[in-house]
Structure 1
Amino acid sequence: MSKQLFHHINKYVAITEEEFQTMFPFFELRTLKKKELLVEAGSVCNQNHFVLDGCLHMFFINDKGTERTIQFAIENWWMTDDLAYHNQTVTDFSIQAVENTRLLAITHDKQEQLLKEFPQLEKYFRTIYQISYGAALVKMKYLFGLTKEEIYFHFTTQFPQFAQRVPQYLIASFLGLTPEYVSEIRAKKRS
C-alpha cells in the first residue's frame, strides 16, 4: 500500500525510498464500507485523503433536499474540500464511499509538518491541485457547452472506469441530470 503513494509522488517529484519511509508515518490507513461516510457536511475539514482502492464521491444536499455529487475519486486520486481544508473550517460537503474503500488520510497539521520536512512535496501537492482545478474547469466547459445527452455520452466515453463502477444515479447527480433522464438516454442508445 505504501508503494502506491510512493510511485504516485514519484510521477511528479523525485523522492527516495528512505525519504518515503520517513514520510509514511504522517499518514493513517483508513477503510470504509460501501456507503459509509468519511466526512459529514457541517464538520471541520481536517483531513486530505489518498485513495488506495475503491471509490469516493463528494456531495452536498441542495435546498430542495436533492443530493448533488460534485466530485469522484478512485485509485491514486486525492479528495477533500480543498478550501475548508486549507482554512480549517466547516465543510458544506460530505464524502462517502461508493465502494468498499481503503485510503491514506493526512491531517492538515501533519501535512504542514510534512511539507516543512520535505519541501519537494510542495511541488507534488501544487501539481495535484493544478490538475484538479484544470479538471473542474473542463467540467464547467462541458456543462455549459454541450447538450445534456452530449454531456452524458462524453462522460461515459472519456471516463469508462466511472461508467462501469459508479451507480447511474450518482453519475446523473454529477452531470446535473436526473436518473430518469439518464435511463431514457441509455434506452434510446440501445434502440
Structure 2
Amino acid sequence: MATQFFDHINMFVNIDEKDFQRILTFFDLRSVNKKEIIVKAGDLCNFNHFVVDGCLQMFYINDKGTERTIQFAIENWWMTDFLAYHNQSITDFYIQAVENTKILSISYDKQEELLNEFPKLEKYFRVIYQISYGASLIKMKYLLDLSKEEIYFQFTEHFPKFAQRVPQYLIASFLGLTPEYVSEIRNKKRS
C-alpha cells in the first residue's frame, strides 16, 4: 500500500522516503465493504479518497429515483465531489464501494496542513485535478457526439480495466444507457 502511493506521488513530483512517511500521517487507511456507502447526498463533503485497492463509484439519484453513476475510481485514482470538497459544502452525490476496497482518506483540513508542510504536493494535486477534469470533458464529448453504441465501444476500448471489473448495470448507468441495451450491444458484437 505505502509503496503504491509513494510511486504514484513520484510520478508527478519527487519526494523522498522520509518525507513520504510524514505525508502518510495525514491520511487514514480504511477498508470499505462491497456496496458500503462512504458518502451520502446531503453530507458535508469533507474527505478526498485515494483508492489503494478496489473500486468506488460516485452516483446521484434523480427525480425518478434512478441511480445515475457519474464516475468510477480504481487503484491510483482519487474520488470526491471536488467542488463540494473545495467549498466545504454539502454534496449531492453518493460514493459507494463497487467491490471490497481499501482507501486512503484525507480531510480537507488535513490536506491544507499537508500542502502547507509539503508545498510541492500542490503540483501533485493540481495534476490529479486536471486529469479528472479532462476525463469529465471526454465523457461529455462522447455523450454529446456519439451514438449510444459508439459510446459503449469507446468506453470499453479506452477503459478496459473498468469494463472488465465494473458490473454491466453500473457501466450502463455511467453511460446513460439501460442494462438491457448494453446486453444487446454486447451480444451484437459477439455475433
The bucket for the TM-score relative to the shorter chain is over 0.9
Structure 2's unaligned 5+ residue stretches are none
Secondary structure at the aligned position of 1:51 is classed as strand
For the residues of structure 1 that align with 2:190 and 2:77, how far apart are their CA atoms?
32
Aligned counterparts, 1:40-189, within 5 A: 40-189=40-189
Per the alignment, residue 16 of structure 1 pairs with 16
Question: How many residues are paired up?
Answer: 191
2: distance between equivalents of 1:162 and 1:127?
22
Q: Distance in 2 between matches of 1:131 and 1:153?
A: 21
1:98 CA displacement: 0.3
RMSD of aligned residue pairs (Cα, Å): 0.6
Instruction: Name which of structure 1's ranges 178-187 and 90-99 shifts more when overlaid on structure 2.
Output: 178-187
Shift of 1:184: 1.1
Query: C-alpha offsets along residues 123-159 of structure 1, whole Å, 9 cap, x if unaligned?
Result: 0000000011011101111111110000001111111
| Pairwise CA distance, 1:68 | 0.3
Q: Give the letter aligned to residue 111 of structure 1.
A: Q
The TM-score with structure 2 as length reference comes to 0.99
Deviation, 1:76, is 0.3
Structure 1 runs, 4 residues or longer, greater than 2 Å off: none
Match of 1:9, as an amino acid?
Answer: I
For residue 25 of structure 2, give the secondary structure of its aligned residue in structure 1: helix
Shift of 1:3: 1.4
Identity of aligned residues (%): 74
Taking the aligned partners of 1:25 and 1:162, their CA distance within structure 2 comes to 30
